[in-house]
Structure 1
Amino acid sequence: MEFQVLGPVQASVGNRRIELGDRKQRLVLAVLLLEPNQLVPLARLVDLLWRESPPTTARRVVQSHVSRLRSALAAASGDVTMVRRGMGYAVECDPERIDAYRFRSLLDQARNSDDARDRVRLLRQALGLWRGPALADAATHEVRDELCRGLDEARMAAVEERFDAELELGRDSQLVDELTDLAARYPHRQKLTFHLMLALYRAGRSGEALRVYASTHRRLDAELGLQPSAGLRQLQIAILRGDPA
């Protein structure tokens, strides 16, 4: 059995999708999958499902969700179990069955590799596990932000580290279009701006690289009251000097 939380919450055995029930029921499973083999208190599940105004029946509703999920998983495969201990629940399974765990594992492998081609391969594989925002169809924006902020940041770090490795391999001109789109979508992530400026400069487009710096400088000042990072300023000076390095 495989579980996906990096996008819509899903479970499958081979090519067969397992029916996981309504949104709240999928959220219960997702919370347990984000902490596999760890006890999640019933009170935390209630809080995540209803936030500030849980109904008086909230605990019984969660228990019903867990019961239905346990039955669905047991009918599909006998190697994943949902257990109750005291006033909490856990999914007991090999974490490798969960895409979020595999993503972090591949990211760690990439960071431990000294070979740029190997890092690109591992990071592309890790990023390929994402099918949209984590818990996309199960959590409200507020709950998703609370549960997935670390995963979202790890995803963006993986994107930036992939560009580091790609640029190390000299794939500058191939990256310009992709970096232009991402830098526009995430204008405050200065590492992406750095990558875009470097790729443009190495592709013989130093004027465009300097215009990217100028627009980033204006935006950071106007929207956040910040100056560009030291690394970005140093890159601008290197481009102005035509630094061959």
Structure 2
Amino acid sequence: MDIDVLGALAVRENGISITPSAPKPRQVLALLALHADQVVPVASLIEELWGEQPPRSARTTLQTYVLQLRDLISTALEHEPEGAEPRTAKDVLVTSPGGYLLNTSGGTNDVREFERLAGTGYRAMDAGDFPAAARQLREALDLWTGAALADVHTGPQLEMEARCLEETRLCALDQRIEADLRLGRHRELLGELTVLVRRHRTHETLHGQLMLALHRSGRRSEALDVYQRLRNALVGELGLEPSAALRRLQRSVLMAGPESLPGPARDGAERHSRVG
């Protein structure tokens, strides 16, 4: 089974789509796909579909959605490769005590591949291998074709999952940008970072990286403008001042030449404490 959730939802068995078009069965499949090969409790599925006030018929209706998914799976199983061990839809979408499990039997999974590549990139960063880090993190980010579950109506469970995935994407993105900065690619990053800080108005790491890239490109006054816009957004929207790391970076822009500037702070608490 092949699963893609980093963009539009796409789940295929034997190359045949088993992704329903109806919104609620689609939600069920999305939650099962995000937790592939793990039991998803019935209570979680019901909360996803109906929130805190499900109808009395919730369990029966959920069973109907499961049957609809199994019908799609049965059609896909008609295309099993020759010699493959026979399977039924119940072997793929398994009823377990307290919930359901999507048995993938291997196949591709874009979230797992993203996590593998990003993890390799983080380890390369820790080892000081910035070319490898930039390459691995770029490959990881290329798996994203849009916002996670972009075409799925999300309830409480999927909304939380999508936010967590977006946070992992941002972490990988700022590490890839840091690797590129350490490789001297500051001018190449200016366009990308300008778009990112407009999208994430209070994300300190991205603003610090843009400040650094601008200053190293000889655009000191613009770097200071970026700091001021960030400060205005933080104070106006969150009632917070920029972190100590950003204030140090601002002082460095004011006082130092591009070659002596520190990189954006790597302390986890300061790097990711304010994400917009």
Q: Same fold (TM over 0.5)?
A: yes
The aligned runs of 1:47-62 (5 Å cut-off) are 47-62=47-62
Number of residue pairs matched? 245
Q: How does 1:97-176 map to 2 (within 5 A)?
A: 97-113=108-124, 114=127, 115-140=129-154, 142-176=156-190
Q: Offset of 1:110 from its aligned partner? A: 0.8
Corresponding residue for residue 7 of structure 2: 7
Q: Closer, same or farther in 2 for the Cα pair 1:96/1:175, shift >3 Å?
A: farther
Determine the structure 2 residue equivalent to 1:186: 200
Alpha-carbon distance between aligned partners in 2 of 1:190 and 1:221, rounded to the nearest angstrom: 13
Quick one: distance in 2 between partners of 1:74 and 1:101?
A: 26
Q: Which residue of 2 aligns with 1:36?
A: 36
Q: 2:38 is matched by which residue type in structure 1?
A: Q
C-alpha contact 2:14 2:76 (8 A) present in aligned 1: no
RMSD value over aligned CA atoms? 2.1
Structure 2 gaps, min length 5: 81-86, 261-276
Does the 8 Å contact 1:12/1:18 carry over to 2? Answer: yes
1:86 matched residue in structure 2: 97
Corresponding position: 1:227 with 2:241 = yes
Q: 1:117 to 1:86 in 2, by over 3 A?
A: same
Native 8 Å contact 1:27 1:135 kept in 2: no
- Of 84-93 and 12-21, more deviation after overlay is shown by 12-21
How many Å separate the matches in 1 of 2:14 and 2:185?
Answer: 37
Aligned residue for 2:138, secondary structure, equals: helix
Flag structure 1 segments of 5+ consecutive residues without an equivalent.
none
Contact 1:40 1:90 in 2 (8 A): yes
The alpha-carbon distance between structure 1 residues 156 and 121, as it changes in their structure 2 partners (threshold 3 A), is same
Deviations 1:45-89 (A, max 9, x none): 111101133222221221122222233234325588110112310
Q: Which residue of 1 aligns with 2:191?
A: 177
C-alpha distance after superposition, 1:182-211 (max 9, x if no partner): 011101110000000000011111111011
CA spacing shift, 1:95–1:112, aligned 2, 3 Å: farther
TM-score normalized by the length of structure 1: 0.91
Identity rate, percent:
38
